[in-house]
Amino acid sequence: MVDFLVTDLSVSEKQIRVLLNEEASRSGIIQAFIDLRKDTRIKEGYPILIFYAGHGAEIISPEGWETGDTKIQAIVPHDYPVVPYLPDRTIGALIDLLSGGKGDNIVCHSNHYLNIELMCF
pLDDT single digits (tens) 54-107: 888 888 888 888 777 788 889 999 999 999 999 988 998 999 999 998 998 888
Percent of the chain having pLDDT more than 90? 57
Per-residue pLDDT at 108: 81
d(CA 112, CA 116): 9
If you ran DSSP here, which 8-state letter would residue 65 be given? Answer: -
Tell me which range, 34-43, 64-73, 105-114, is most confidently predicted by mean pLDDT. 34-43
User: Looking at the predicted structure, is the pLDDT value of residue 117 above 80?
Assistant: no
pTM attached to this predicted model:
0.85
The answer, yes or no, to whether the previous bond of 81 is cis (omega within 30 of 0) is yes
Average pLDDT score over residue span 5-16:
92
Residue bearing the bigger pLDDT, 105 or 120: 105
If you ran DSSP here, which 8-state letter would residue 102 be given? Answer: H
